[in-house]
A = this chain, B = another copy of it.
C-alpha cells in the first residue's frame, strides 16, 4: 500500500497545478454538480473548456490519438491526481455526460472503424451531445422486454415506439438507442444498439415533469423514424450485450464518491453556519453524531474507490467491490441530503425562490433527485439482485410456472 506520489507523479501533479493556475479563469463557473441536475444547452465556454482539457490530456486521456484523445497509457494515479487537483481548485472537471461516459467506451469496444472515426472526437470534445434511449414505459427494471421496433426497409430501419427517462433529450444532437430488430427471437436476442441524430424526422421529445419540479427527463416518441442500418453498433441482434457493457459504466458513474464528499462538506457548512435559538447546530449532539456517521461512510466510499481503482489497475476483473458502489453511493447521498434538510428544520422545506432559501433549494431538490437515482439506472432492488446473483453466486429467481 502506497498512497504517496512517486517522482513521475509528483511531476505530473505539478503540471496539473500549473495548467490550473494558468487556465482556471477560462473554466465555466457552474459546478459540475448543478450542471448535472438540470441539463441545459452547453454554453460555448463549456465546450471550449472541454476542448482545452482534451488537448492537454486532462480528460479522455486514454482515448487513442486517432480518435481525438490524448493517447496516454492507463495510469489510474494520474486520473486521480487530476480529479483531486481540480477538486481542490474548485474547478469544473472534464464533462462526464452519457456520450463521454457510456457511448464512447461502447463504441471503442463494439464500433466499426468508420463509426469511431466519425463520432468519438466530437463526442469527447462535447461538440456532439448524446442522450440514451433505453428505458420504455413497460420496460424499466426489465429492460430486455422493450418493444420499440425497427423494421427493415431497403438499407434502412424504420423505427417506431417510445422511450422514457431520456435525460437531456431536449438538448442532445444524437441518441444511442436500443430497438427490437428481430421480433421473433428470444427477448434478449432480438435487440440492436443503434445511433442516430435527434433531428431525424419523426422524433418528438416531451419533457417529463418530475417531483423536483424541473424536467430533468423526457419522453421520446418515434414515428416512422428512418435510420440507415449502418448505424447499428456491434452486430445486429446483439444489442443486449453491447448495452450491458454500457450499463456497467452507468452504474459506476452514479455512485461517485466525490459527489458524496461534496455533499458532506456542504452539510458540515450547514452545521457550522446555521443556528437554532442562537446556538450553532454543530453543538447539537444528535446532528453531530449523524454527521460523523455519514462522514465515516463517505470516507469508506472514497477509500473503497481507491482500492477498486488499484485492483482495476492490476487487471483484476470487476467484482463484488464494484457492484456495491451504486447501491451504497446513491443511498449515502440521499442520507446526506436528508441530514441537511433536518438540520435546516423549517428552512429545509422552503423551495423555489423563497426568501430564506439555502443553497438555491438544492437540499430538497437533491433529496428527491437522489431518491430518483436510487430508483433509476437499475432500482436498488435490481442492484441487490445483481449483487446477490453475480457477486455472491446466489441462484437467479426461479422461472415462474405458466398458470
Contact = CB atoms under 8 A, between A and B. Distances in A.
A384 to B, nearest CB: 15
A290 to B, nearest CB: 10
Nearest to A284: B285
A400 interface: yes
Contacts of A403: 398-399
Contacts of A286: 285-286, 289
A401 interface: yes
A320 to B, nearest CB: 23
A402 B400 CA distance: 9
Contact of A401 (B285, B289, B399): B399
Contacts of A285: 285-286
A289 B342 CA distance: 15
Contacts of A399: 400-401, 403
Contacts of A400: 398-401
Interface string A277-288: 000000001100
Contacts of A398: 400-401, 403
Interface in A334-350: none
A244 B51 CA distance: 71
A283 to B, nearest CB: 11
A157 B286 CA distance: 63
Interface string A361-403: 0000000000000000000000000000000000000111111
A175 B295 CA distance: 55
A138 B400 CA distance: 24
A81 B402 CA distance: 54
Contacts of A289: 286
A399 to B, nearest CB: 4
Given A398-B401, A399-B400, 12 more contacts: A285-B285, A285-B286, A286-B286, A286-B289, A398-B400, A398-B403, A399-B401, A399-B403, A400-B400, A400-B401, A401-B401, A401-B402
10 contacts: A285-B285, A285-B286, A286-B289, A398-B400, A398-B403, A399-B401, A400-B400, A400-B401, A401-B401, A401-B402
